[in-house]
Structure 1
Amino acid sequence: MTDSTHNDLVIGIVGAGAMGSGIAQVAAASGRTVLVYDQRPGAASNARAGIITRMEKRVAEGKATQDAFDMLVANLQVVESLAALAGCGLIVEAIIEDLAAKRALFAELAAIVANDAVLASNTSSIPIGAIASGLPNPSRIAGLHFFNPVPVMKLVEVIRTPDTADEVVEGLTLLAREMGRVPVEVRDTPGFLVNFGGRAYTTEGLAIVHENVATTAQIDAVMRDCCGFRMGPFELMDLTGVDINYPVTAFVHQSHFSDPRLRSTPLHRYLFDVGQLGRKTGRGFFDYREGANRPSADATSSAPPARAVSLLEASEALVALAGELELTVLPADDGICPILCAPIGEDCAALSARTGADHSRLVALDLAVNTARRITVMTAPEADPAARDSVVALLSQSRAVTAIADSPGFIAQRICAMIANLGCEMAQTGLAKPQDIDTAMRLGLNYPSGPLEMTDAMGADQLYTIMTQIQRLTGDDRYRPSQWLRRRAQLGLSAMAS
C-alpha cells in the first residue's frame, strides 16, 4: 500500500464543499501536494480561493506565518477531471451522503489510480463496507471522517472494515496526526462512533418534550447550567439544522433495527417535514425571527419562602442543602409543610406510592448534578401549588430554578444516563476502545466529558439505578442498561475497565 505518511504523498480530494475544502486545507498545510476536484464548474477554484483568503486573514492576525501561507498556496492545486488524480497515493472522497453516488465514484477511482493507492471516504454515517462492496482490492479502502469545520475540529475517525489492511489504518492514523488531528480507530458501523453516540443527547431531550415534562428552553438551561454542556440539545439541533440531524437520527435508528435507544419523536420529524430547520430558516425548536422572544427556563414565585420542611429518605446531599438554606427540618411530617426528596431515577408518583408520603406536598429536587447555578424542582400530578411555590421562592434566592412535571430521572439524570449508557454499549460491542470513545465524544461533540468518564463521575451504580428505575416505571426498553454498565455497577469497577 502507499505510505500515507510520506512527504511526497500526493493527496486527491473529490468534492470541494465545506468538508472537502477543509480537508484540502489541513492536508496542504501538513506539507503534502493536494489536488482538488469537483464536478461542479468553478467549485474547486472557488474553494481554493476561499482557503487562501482565510489563510491570508490568519497571517494578518498573526495566527499563521508567511512561510506556512506560502507552503499552503504552493501545495494546493485544482484539477479539472478525475483522470488528473491518477498519480495520487491517497484520495479522500467528500461528496454528497448518497450510497449510490459514492459507489459509482469509488468504482471510477479504482479504475484510474494505482493498485496500491488508498481510497478513503469522509462519509459521516454510511458504512464503508457498503461503499467498498464489489470493488477490486477492498483492503485499500477505509473511512477518514473529519468534522466540520475541519480546520477547527481536531477529531478524525479512522474507520476500518473487515477487509481494510492494517497498514492502511496505521498510515491514515499517522497521517491524521501529522495534519494536527486527533485520530481514533472505529469499527465500521452505521453512524460510526460520534454520530451513533451523539444520538442520546438529542433524542432523550426530545423524549422529555414529547412527554410534556419540560420545555425545550428548560431542558437546554438544565443541561448547560447543571451538567456543563456548551449548548442544550435543542439549540444544538437548531444550529446544525434539523435537515441534518433528523435524517442522520432516522438513518442510525433504522440501521440498528429500530433499537429504541436511538428513537426520535414525531416533533423532530414534523419540523423536518414543514421546513422549520433551525437558525438557517429562522424557526426550529426556537424562533430566531426578528423580535421573537426566547422563552424563559426560570420558575418564579411570589409565595412566602418555605422555612420548615420534612425530608423523605434524607440523603447526605439533601441534608446538606437543607442546612445551606437554613431550613428547619422537622423530626416528623406535620401534615402541612413541604416534603423534600431527592429521588434517583424515580418520579414523585412512584416515590409517593412506595413510601406512602403525601404526594400533594412532595417536592423533588435533582441533587445528582451540579446545583450551584440552577436546580430542578419536580412535583406529582395534582400537587399543592403552595408547597411547590414556597420551595421555589426559597431556592430562587440563591440560584435559578426550573420547575417541571413528574418524570422518572428529572431532566439531567435521564439525559446523562442515556449518554453514559450508549457510551457503555459502544464499549460493550467493541466499536472503539473506551479511551477513544471518550476522546471522540469530547472532541467531536464538545461534551464536557466522555460517556465513560461521565459514568465514573456519577457512579456506575447510580447510573445503573437510574436506568433500571426508568425502564421499570416506563416499561420502555429504550432505557435498558448496557451489560457493560451493569457488570461494572455490580462489581464496583470503573467504566473504563475492560
Structure 2
Amino acid sequence: MNYINKYTNISLLGAAGKMGSGIMALLAFEVGKLKIGAKREENFVINAIDVSPEALEGLLKYLKSQLLKSGEKNIVELREWYKDSAELVENEQVIEAYANDVMAMIKTSTRIETAYDSQLVFEAIKEDKGLKVKLFSQIKQNNPDTWFLSNTSSIPLGEIDKEAGLNGDIVGFHFYNPPVIQKLLEVIPVENINPDLIKFSEELAKSMRKIVVYSSDVAGFIGNGHFMRDALFALDQAQGMTNEIALADAIYRVDTVSRDLLLRPMGIYQLMDYVGVDVMCFILKSMQAAFSQEKLSHEILNQYIDLGVTGGQYSDGSQKDGFFQYEKGKIVSVYDIDANAYKAIADVKTANEAYFTPQPSEKLNWKTVIREREREGILSPFFNELKVLASPASKLAVAYGLKSKAIGQLLVEGGVAADTNAVNKVMETGFYHAYGPVNNFFE
C-alpha cells in the first residue's frame, strides 16, 4: 500500500505539551523528507492542535529551533535537497530555507474540527480515557478513513478502540521523553488492528530511526508496567522505615540506594518527581482496573497529592518541587511531610551516613558503567560485594534488585512482554538503565 496520501494531512492532539512538542518535531522531520527531500508534488499539512493559543505560540518557536538544529546536523543531505536552488550559497542559507519550508506546512489550531480532514491523527493528550474516546469518536464519525496513533502510556488501546468505534484503526505509538532524543518506541497493536496500520507504524518507526519494542495491549504496557511497580516497592520500603525515622530520611535512603548502589541514572524518587506524582496516580488508576489482584496505589502518593506536592515539570523543562526540591536540576532539599517544609539535603545526608556504612570498595556510578561495552565484568564484582556487605543500604539494594527482576518476570509471565529481552531493552533504552532488571546479579 502507498502511504503517501496518509501523510498529506496529519493532526496531533496535545501538540503543545511536553510529549506533544517532541512528537511534532519528529513529524515535521518526516514531512520534510517527503516534500523537500523526495520532492513530492503533493501538498502536506501538519495540524498542531492544542487548547492553549499561548502554548501553540511557544511550540512554533520550539519547532523552528529543532528544525535549525536538524538542518545543521544534516547539512550534507540538505545541500543535496536544495542543489537546484542557486540562490542558496552558504550553509546557513540552506538551513534557514529548510526550516522555513517545513514551518510553512505547520498550522496551529485550538479546534478539534481541524482534525476532521486528517488521514493520520497522533495523540498526546492527558491520560484520560473518556476524553480520548470522545475526541477519537468525534473525528472518526467525520472521517471514517482516519488512522489513530496514540501516545498513551497506560490505557489499553482495545478499550479506546471499542468505545470510540475505531474498528481497529488505532495503534499505541508510545514515545519516551524527550521524543526527539529517546530512541525507544513502544508499539502496542490492538487485537483486531488494521494490518495496513501496523505495517505503516513499522515503516514510520524505521524512518524515525526508533528502536521498536512490541507490547501487548495491557494497561501500563512494558515500561510503566515495570516502573510503577518498582516505584511502589520503593514507597513501601520508605513507609516501612517510618517507625524509626522520619519519612523524609526514609525517602532519602531509598532514593540514594536506587541511584548509587543499583547504579541508575537517577534515584527512584527523583524519577517520580520527573514524571509527576499526579501523572503516576493517573497511570496507576488505569492499571488498577486491569490488575484487580494487585494493590496499585499508595498512601504516600495520595498524601502528597492532597498537599499539592506533585513534582512534574514547568513548560521550560525545569523541575517542579516534589519529593525533592531542585536548583539548576540538582537536589538541594527533601520534603518533610510532618513539618510541611523542605530539609536541606546536606543535613539529611549527614544524619544518615551510618545507614550506608560500610560502603563498596569500588566507587562505581552510572556514568562510569554506561561507557563500558562489556559491562558484566565490572557489574558482577560490584554487586557480589554488595551481597556480603553488612550495611543496611547494601541489603536493601540486593532486595531491590531481586524485586526489580521479579517485576520483569511478571510482565513476561502475564503476557505483557514477549520475553525478558523485551523487558530489558525497554528499561535500558527507555529508562537508560545500565543493565536490564532480569539478570542474575543479585541471586
TM-score normalised over the length of structure 1: 0.64
Q: 1:296 aligns with which of 325, 335, 349?
A: 349
Aligned to 2:399: 414
Structure 1 position 49 matched with structure 2 position 90: no
Q: CA deviation at 1:51?
A: 1.5
Aligned to 1:272: 305
Q: Deviations over 1:325-379 (max 9, x none)?
A: 9xxxxxxxxxxxxxxxxxxxxxxxxxxxxxxxxxxxxxxxxx987269989955x
Q: CA deviation at 1:13?
A: 0.9
Aligned to 1:11: 10
SS of equivalent residue, structure 1 residue 449: coil
Structure 1 position 143 matched with structure 2 position 172: yes
Q: CA deviation at 1:73?
A: 2.2
Aligned to 1:110: 140
CA–CA separation in structure 1 for the residues paired with 2:165 and 2:285: 31
SS of equivalent residue, structure 1 residue 77: strand
Structure 1 position 458 matched with structure 2 position 418: no
Q: CA deviation at 1:209?
A: 1.0
Are the counterparts in 1 of residues 157 and 217 from structure 2 also a CA contact under 8 Å? Answer: yes
Aligned to 1:423: 408
Seen in structure 2, the aligned counterparts of structure 1 residues 83 and 220 have a Cα distance that, compared at 3 Å, is: closer
CA–CA separation in structure 2 for the residues paired with 1:74 and 1:29: 13
Structure 1 position 177 matched with structure 2 position 206: yes
Structure 1 position 284 matched with structure 2 position 267: no
CA–CA separation in structure 2 for the residues paired with 1:186 and 1:164: 14
**Which protein shows a greater Rg?**
1
Seen in structure 2, the aligned counterparts of structure 1 residues 134 and 223 have a Cα distance that, compared at 3 Å, is: closer
Q: Deviations over 1:452-475 (max 9, x none)?
A: 3xx2x427xx3xxxxxxxxxxxxx
CA–CA separation in structure 2 for the residues paired with 1:79 and 1:450: 42
CA–CA separation in structure 2 for the residues paired with 1:244 and 1:147: 14
Are the counterparts in 2 of residues 29 and 68 from structure 1 also a CA contact under 8 Å? Answer: no
Seen in structure 2, the aligned counterparts of structure 1 residues 371 and 26 have a Cα distance that, compared at 3 Å, is: same
Q: CA deviation at 1:161?
A: 1.4
Report which stretch shifted further, 68-77 or 84-93.
68-77
Structure 1 position 444 matched with structure 2 position 427: no
1:44-443 equivalences in 2 (<5 Å):
44-56=56-68, 58=69, 62-63=72-73, 65=75, 66=95, 69-70=99-100, 72-79=102-109, 81-113=111-143, 115-212=144-241, 215-260=250-295, 263-278=296-311, 283-288=321-326, 292-294=343-345, 295-296=348-349, 299=353, 370=382, 378=390, 403=392, 410-434=395-419, 435-443=421-429
SS of equivalent residue, structure 1 residue 370: helix
Q: CA deviation at 1:134?
A: 4.0
Q: CA deviation at 1:103?
A: 1.0
Unaligned regions of 5+ residues in structure 1, if any? 306-320, 326-366, 379-401, 463-498
Q: Deviations over 1:380-403 (max 9, x none)?
A: xxxxxxxxxxxxxxxxxxxxxx54
Q: Which amino acid aligns with 2:416?
A: L
Q: Which amino acid aligns with 1:240?
A: V
Q: CA deviation at 1:177?
A: 1.9
CA–CA separation in structure 2 for the residues paired with 1:253 and 1:458: 31
Seen in structure 2, the aligned counterparts of structure 1 residues 151 and 282 have a Cα distance that, compared at 3 Å, is: closer
Report which stretch shifted further, 94-103 or 43-52.
43-52
CA–CA separation in structure 2 for the residues paired with 1:68 and 1:436: 38
Seen in structure 2, the aligned counterparts of structure 1 residues 111 and 264 have a Cα distance that, compared at 3 Å, is: closer
Q: CA deviation at 1:99?
A: 1.5
CA–CA separation in structure 2 for the residues paired with 1:440 and 1:68: 34
Q: Deviations over 1:169-226 (max 9, x none)?
A: 2211220221232222221111122111112321111111111188222222222222
Are the counterparts in 2 of residues 25 and 72 from structure 1 also a CA contact under 8 Å? Answer: no
Q: CA deviation at 1:437?
A: 2.4
SS of equivalent residue, structure 1 residue 91: strand
Seen in structure 2, the aligned counterparts of structure 1 residues 286 and 84 have a Cα distance that, compared at 3 Å, is: closer
SS of equivalent residue, structure 2 residue 127: coil
Are the counterparts in 2 of residues 376 and 403 from structure 1 also a CA contact under 8 Å? Answer: no
Seen in structure 2, the aligned counterparts of structure 1 residues 12 and 4 have a Cα distance that, compared at 3 Å, is: farther
CA–CA separation in structure 1 for the residues paired with 2:4 and 2:236: 45
CA–CA separation in structure 1 for the residues paired with 2:113 and 2:294: 43
Q: Deviations over 1:10-51 (max 9, x none)?
A: 322122222222111101112354222224445434422332
Q: Deviations over 1:47-81 (max 9, x none)?
A: 2233213444x369x54541653453244333564
Q: CA deviation at 1:430?
A: 2.3
Seen in structure 2, the aligned counterparts of structure 1 residues 218 and 91 have a Cα distance that, compared at 3 Å, is: same
SS of equivalent residue, structure 1 residue 451: coil
CA–CA separation in structure 2 for the residues paired with 1:284 and 1:79: 33
Q: Which amino acid aligns with 1:448?
A: A
Seen in structure 2, the aligned counterparts of structure 1 residues 6 and 374 have a Cα distance that, compared at 3 Å, is: farther
CA–CA separation in structure 2 for the residues paired with 1:227 and 1:83: 49
Q: What number of residue pairs does the alignment pair up?
A: 364
Seen in structure 2, the aligned counterparts of structure 1 residues 54 and 8 have a Cα distance that, compared at 3 Å, is: closer
Are the counterparts in 2 of residues 35 and 77 from structure 1 also a CA contact under 8 Å? Answer: yes
SS of equivalent residue, structure 2 residue 324: coil
Q: Which amino acid aligns with 2:238?
A: V
SS of equivalent residue, structure 2 residue 255: helix
CA–CA separation in structure 1 for the residues paired with 2:289 and 2:302: 14
Seen in structure 2, the aligned counterparts of structure 1 residues 210 and 83 have a Cα distance that, compared at 3 Å, is: closer
Q: Deviations over 1:409-432 (max 9, x none)?
A: 921122222221121122122223
Aligned to 2:88: none
SS of equivalent residue, structure 1 residue 211: helix
CA–CA separation in structure 2 for the residues paired with 1:53 and 1:215: 42
Structure 1 position 35 matched with structure 2 position 47: yes
